Amino acid sequence: MHLHREGTPTLLLSTAVVFGILFALWNWPVLPNALIILISALLLIVLGIVFWFFRVPARPFKADDRCIVAPADGKVVAIEEVHEPEYFKDRRIQVSIFMSPLNVHVNWYPIGGTTSYYRYHPGKYLVAWHPKSSTENERSTVVVKHPIHGEVLFRQIAGALARRICTYSREGAPAQQGTEFGFIKFGSRVDLFLPLTAKVDVTIGQAVTGCSTVVARFNA
C-alpha cells in the first residue's frame, strides 16, 4: 500500500497545520494539561484519517474480457434501467456505487479497450446518493469501447464533500481493465451504464471492491 499522488498538497498542508497547532499547545500552554492531551489526540486522529483517505492498496488483478469489474470501492445504491442522455441517448442498465469518505477513492477501468469519449462537467455538490446528482453535480464521463462487447459508460460524480474530480482518461487512448483512470477527493459516487443484455451480478446494498468485484457479465 502507498499514498496517492493527488493527496500530496492536502497531506503536506494538513501535517503542517496539525504539528503547528501541537507545537503551540505544548510550548505556550494556556489550557489545562488534560485538555491539551485530548486536543492533541483528536488532531492526530484527524491527521491519520486524512492519510488513510489517500491510501492506494495493492490489488493483484487478472483481466477478464467477459466481465465488468467494479470501478470503485463502496456500496451499490442503485440498479435500474434508465435513459442515458449524454452519450448513448438510449436505455441502459445503471449501476451506482456510493463511496463514503472512509472508502479507497481510486477509480479503476471496469473494462478494457479504447477510450472513445471523455467530458468534464462543472456542477453542483448535492449529496452523492441524491437522484439528480448524476446529471447536476460536478462529474466526469468516460466511455470505453471494448473490441468485442462494445461500449460501457462510467461517470465519476462529486458529492457534498468532494471538490475535485481527477480523470486521467483521454479520447483515443488505450484503457486497460483494472488499471487506474481517476481519483475523487472525499465522499462521492461512480455510475456505470451497461448494455441491456448485460447480466448484473451485484445487489442493492452490497459492498464492492474496486478492480476486484464482478459487477456484471457480458452476454456473449
From residue 104, give the alpha-carbon distance in Å to each of 35, 55, 75: 33, 7, 12
Residue 136's pLDDT is 66
Each residue of 48-75: b (16+ CB within 10 Å) or e?
Answer: eebeebbebeeeeeeeeeebbbbbbbbb
The catalytic position among 133, 140, 169, 188 is 188
Residues in the chain: 220
> What is the 8-class DSSP label of residue 32?
-
Q: Is 188 a catalytic residue?
A: yes
Whole-number Å distance between alpha carbons of 120 and 165? 9
Each residue of 39-84: pLDDT tens digit?
A: 999 999 999 988 988 888 888 888 888 999 999 999 999 999 999 9
If you search the block for the grid coordinates 498538497, which residue do you land on?
9
Single-letter amino acid code for the residue at 109: Y
Mean pLDDT of 177-205: 92
Residue 149's pLDDT is 93
Each residue of 117-141: pLDDT tens digit?
A: 999 988 665 655 555 556 667 889 9
Question: What is the helix (H) or strand (E) element at residue 6, kind and residue range?
Answer: none
Residue 134's pLDDT is 63
Distance from CA of residue 44 to its chain's centroid?
25
Whole-number Å distance between alpha carbons of 182 and 71? 10
Q: Collect all residues with Cβ–Cβ distance below 8 Å to 198 and sequence separation of at least 6.
A: 68, 93, 216, 217, 218, 219
Q: State the DSSP string of 119-161.
A: EEE--B---TTSTTHHHHBSEEEEEEEETTTEEEEEEEEE-SS
* Mean pLDDT for the chain overall: 89
Mean pLDDT of 88-110: 92
C-alpha cell at 128: 452523492
